[in-house]
Chain A
Amino acid sequence: MSEVGLKEIEKDIPAESVSSPKAGFLSRIPWGRVGMPAVLVILCVVFGTINPNFWSVMNMTNVSRQISILALISIGQTFAILSAGIDLSVGSLLALVSVVTAQQMLHFGMWGGIAAGILAGALAGLVNGLLIAKAKLPAFITTLAMLIAARGIALTLSGGLPIVDLPEQFMFFGAGKIGPIPVPAVIAIVAFILAHIILTRTRFGRYVYAMGSNEEAAVLSGVSVVRNKTLVYVISGTLAGIAGVVLTSRVISGQPTLGDGQEVYAIAAVVLGGGKMSGGVGGMWQTLMGVIVLGVLANGLNLIEVSSYVQNIVIGVIIVLAVYVDLARERRR
């Protein structure tokens, strides 16, 4: 028996009483999850070296504008995946919201249109939520059906045609700026902060993790799964509503073909950040990292003139690598 080796190892064990009740700021950072920020830094350095324009204020502004839509729907996706569910419908909901927003705006003015759009998203989310939580249908199937149906509704309502002649001041939400920051980015940042607070500082947030970690135990602990799960999908739908409004403003028309495939990128963002499809693991900070990495990748590959076909290959490979590294680290525990 190696006495020496044993002593060394014992030193590393934290004494039980010194468990830090008031952890400092530095120790709150999930150091186990610095992988993504590191990847981000590397990407930025590589892109910035090949094309110095990458670092220009204009490009940074562009990136933040481009990723805002993805950021908003990824927030909702985070709630869904944390609760051991999934929301596939968000891509089509963007189109549905866009059509509803534009149509109602022509009747009831800008604010009426915006309200109608967000409400449409929330309602679709409510339908998802009730079917999943109350009728106990699988989330995958329910939101897949909504993905198909919402696109159909958008096409039906619009007759397949874009809706134009929206008021000019509506452009503010997609193209405007508050100080140096684009409005969509401001909206996304506010949403992220709110979502982070909800997830970490409210009972509902805790229940989302609990449902994802062990639904049966959550029920036996008094968590109302029906109410809380429904709320998860209402939140996801509402965020798709907000994202849909911003997107409509950017193209300044109602488009029934918007958002195709966006749900896939939202899921990718959550997973890249380290979220688990089986639920209970992940968070807003991690999702934000995933969103930024995807955004910077797309932008950087553009700047260094990689074709958009090849871009998708790169993104696919990076998702697999990220999850692989994550799992490999976990297995070593």
Chain B
Amino acid sequence: MSVEAVTPFVEMRGIVKQFPGVLALRGVNLDVRPAEVHVLLGENGAGKSTLIKVLSGVYAPNAGEILFEGKPVHIRGPHDAQALGVSTIYQEFNLVPEMSVAENIFLGREPRFSHGFGLLDRGKLMVQAREVLSKFDIKVAPDTIVKRLGVAQQQMVEIAKALSLNARVIIMDEPTAVLTAREIDHLFKMIQDFKQRGISIIYISHRLEEVKRIGDRATVLRDGAVVGTVPVAGTPIDEVIRMMVGRDLKDKFPKTSVEPGEEILRVENLERKGILHNISFRLRRGEILGVAGLVGSKRTEMARAIFGVDKIDSGKIFVDGQLKNMKSTAHAIRSRVALVPEDRKRQGILPCMSVKENITLSMLKKFARIGILDLGKERKSAQGHANSMRIATPNLDRWVMYLSGGNQQKAVIAKWLGTEAEVFLFDEPTRGIDVGAKVEVYQLMGELVKRGAAILMISSELPEILGMSDRVLVMHEGRLAGEFTREEATQEKILSCALGSTSEQQIETGVQA
């Protein structure tokens, strides 16, 4: 890297971090200049999260040094990092849901009466909170209870908390993953404002379009090492992807077209009071049926109803022509239906169980002889599925929580490969996983439909819907609002259909007082 005139505000040199069995960082260098948006890119497991946890004092590195404004510092814990002006906004917020916005912002630093025997000064708390919020134009009332806020507003509270700590570097870990387009615009405007005030941002995202929009420089990590640091403006996206995956990704959506076969799933007049209304559709073998819609259009609820998680009030579900209104998830699985849920952490993985146990949970019956599991056979089968999904893990006995997001998702999908499933309900199958893993998931979908299975794919990423679907359903407020063939479907048509008539109110989930 060339020596620049600007002294970096933060510099990390030769950072090494080892976990049992995994070398997460292999001598990483990173320099962040004052008032720049520095993007960290890399596939899941490349070491981005580990790197920011080292900077924010969560992990102690095994080797390497950290400099602030040219001076070496010793970060022994999150408190040290905070004192140096490093604030981190994680994907999962560190907020107390039962407390007010103001209380959350000043948690642990509550203003007290000057002679009040340590009693809290609630008036001062509100005033100070209002100051921070208004200074950065954050439109949230300080006395609102945090759990009543939407995700975007909760994020704003986190940001306010960081600002009130006089942060000079704010680390944002995939801040836009849960935001709508409008909320993202607002966030980006705010980031510009921070830059003007001299605050640096370390920004982690999988969405490459965003990187173009707000990034100044980008550092690409792969396998725990830096591939390179490049100016965002002068670097084409293809180049960045090549750096991330270490190979050319010819096709972002490797679509395999299969001649559709017989009908395998038919849903008739599905009703769930106040949630799903009169939903009917068919799905044929060899087909990928995309389901588009806005957040809150009840797509997930539809999948859950088909899979027997939530009870339906009326309607019929047929699998291979046989009436199968699922009484339970076990019934759905016996009926050869599988569901990959949208929230990997909460609904997908069993964190403190091994990779093997996660993969085989739904197919244990296959390994039981007179009630006793044949563990050797189980391991062999799990190994096979882990290999075919290319799950990167030191061994099958590792707890799944120690894998990267992409590999966790592969384990969740692998769970269904050994079952009899032929109807796959994929709910946001590539959310929060990197480009490389995404392509692998798409390839797997292709293999499944080639074998005669059928896929219903719920996705909020329109390019994904357009790239992978043979047919697209659009949902709006619990109803089917439209259907398009692959040839007909365009971003505009799907979007206007998804917005329905009350479009304004739908997008405006963002900021309100």
User: Taking beta carbons and an 8 Å cutoff, which residues of A are in contact with B?
Assistant: 1-2, 5-6, 9-10, 12-14, 16, 19-22, 197, 201-203, 206, 209-210, 213-214, 216-224, 280-281, 333
Q: Do residues A202 and B371 form an inter-chain contact, with CB atoms below 8 A? A: yes
A-facing residues in B435-479 (Cβ within 8 Å):
none
- A-B CB contacts (within 8 Å), total count: 117
| B120 at the A interface (CB under 8 A) | no
What are 14 of the A-B contact pairs (CB < 8 Å)? A10-B26, A14-B394, A16-B393, A19-B395, A19-B397, A20-B395, A203-B364, A210-B350, A216-B346, A216-B347, A217-B341, A217-B348, A223-B329, A280-B351
Q: Do residues A2 and B63 form an inter-chain contact, with CB atoms below 8 A? A: yes
| Contact with B20, one of A197, A216, A281, A333 (Cβ below 8 angstroms) | A333
Bound form: Cα–Cα A219–B309 in Å? 8
Q: Do residues A221 and B373 form an inter-chain contact, with CB atoms below 8 A? A: no
| Contact with B27, one of A6, A206, A209, A220 (Cβ below 8 angstroms) | A6
- CB-nearest residue of chain A relative to B415? A221
| B23 at the A interface (CB under 8 A) | yes
Bound form: Cα–Cα A6–B353 in Å? 31
In the complex where A2-B14, A13-B21 touch, is A213 in contact with B328 (Cβ < 8 A)? no
- CB-nearest residue of chain A relative to B378? A206
Q: Do residues B16 and A203 form an inter-chain contact, with CB atoms below 8 A? A: no
Bound form: Cα–Cα A22–B395 in Å? 12
Q: Do residues A203 and B368 form an inter-chain contact, with CB atoms below 8 A? A: yes
| B357 at the A interface (CB under 8 A) | yes
Give every chain B residue within 8 A of A223 (Cβ-Cβ): 329-330, 361
| B22 at the A interface (CB under 8 A) | yes
Give every chain B residue within 8 A of A333 (Cβ-Cβ): 19-20
A227 → B minimal CB distance (Å) = 9
Q: Do residues B350 and A214 form an inter-chain contact, with CB atoms below 8 A? A: yes
Bound form: Cα–Cα A232–B351 in Å? 21
In the complex where A214-B351, A218-B350 touch, is A201 in contact with B372 (Cβ < 8 A)? yes
Main SS class of interface, B: mixed
- CB-nearest residue of chain B relative to A12? B18
A-facing residues in B237-287 (Cβ within 8 Å):
none
Bound form: Cα–Cα A212–B353 in Å? 10
B458 → A minimal CB distance (Å) = 15
B217 → A minimal CB distance (Å) = 20
| Contact with B341, one of A22, A213, A220 (Cβ below 8 angstroms) | A220
| Contact with B362, one of A22, A209, A221 (Cβ below 8 angstroms) | A221
| Contact with A218, one of B13, B361, B365 (Cβ below 8 angstroms) | B361
A90 → B minimal CB distance (Å) = 25
Give every chain B residue within 8 A of A6 (Cβ-Cβ): 16, 26-27, 63
Of A1, A12, A21, A201, the most chain B CB neighbours within 10 A belong to: A1
Q: Do residues A1 and B13 form an inter-chain contact, with CB atoms below 8 A? A: yes
Q: Do residues A1 and B347 form an inter-chain contact, with CB atoms below 8 A? A: no
In the complex where A19-B396, A21-B383, A219-B329 touch, is A13 in contact with B22 (Cβ < 8 A)? yes
| B375 at the A interface (CB under 8 A) | yes
Q: Do residues B394 and A206 form an inter-chain contact, with CB atoms below 8 A? A: no
B388 → A minimal CB distance (Å) = 15
Against A, the Cβ 8 Å flags (1 = close, 0 = not) of B329-342 are: 11011000001010
A-facing residues in B471-512 (Cβ within 8 Å):
none
Bound form: Cα–Cα A280–B354 in Å? 11
Q: Do residues A213 and B353 form an inter-chain contact, with CB atoms below 8 A? A: yes
Q: Do residues B352 and A224 form an inter-chain contact, with CB atoms below 8 A? A: no
- CB-nearest residue of chain A relative to B340? A220
Q: Do residues A9 and B18 form an inter-chain contact, with CB atoms below 8 A? A: yes
Give every chain A residue within 8 A of B394 (Cβ-Cβ): 13-14, 16, 19
A-facing residues in B364-412 (Cβ within 8 Å):
364-365, 368, 371-373, 375-376, 379-380, 383, 392-397
In the complex where A20-B395, A213-B351, A213-B352 touch, is A202 in contact with B333 (Cβ < 8 A)? no
Q: Do residues B353 and A209 form an inter-chain contact, with CB atoms below 8 A? A: yes
| Contact with B29, one of A1, A20, A209, A218 (Cβ below 8 angstroms) | A1
In the complex where A6-B16, A9-B18, A222-B330 touch, is A280 in contact with B350 (Cβ < 8 A)? yes
Q: Do residues B395 and A14 form an inter-chain contact, with CB atoms below 8 A? A: yes
Give every chain A residue within 8 A of B332 (Cβ-Cβ): 222
Bound form: Cα–Cα A217–B20 in Å? 26
Q: Do residues A206 and B395 form an inter-chain contact, with CB atoms below 8 A? A: no
A79 → B minimal CB distance (Å) = 16
Give every chain B residue within 8 A of A218 (Cβ-Cβ): 350, 361
B148 → A minimal CB distance (Å) = 23
Give every chain B residue within 8 A of A214 (Cβ-Cβ): 346-347, 349-351
Bound form: Cα–Cα A16–B22 in Å? 10
Give every chain B residue within 8 A of A213 (Cβ-Cβ): 350-353
Give every chain B residue within 8 A of A222 (Cβ-Cβ): 328-330, 332-333, 361-362
| Contact with A210, one of B26, B361, B368 (Cβ below 8 angstroms) | B361
Bound form: Cα–Cα A83–B505 in Å? 43
Q: Do residues A9 and B362 form an inter-chain contact, with CB atoms below 8 A? A: no
| B62 at the A interface (CB under 8 A) | yes
Bound form: Cα–Cα A5–B380 in Å? 37
Bound form: Cα–Cα A217–B309 in Å? 11
Q: Do residues B357 and A209 form an inter-chain contact, with CB atoms below 8 A? A: yes
Q: Do residues A202 and B23 form an inter-chain contact, with CB atoms below 8 A? A: no
Q: Do residues A203 and B365 form an inter-chain contact, with CB atoms below 8 A? A: yes
Bound form: Cα–Cα A150–B339 in Å? 43
In the complex where A1-B29, A206-B357 touch, is A220 in contact with B347 (Cβ < 8 A)? yes
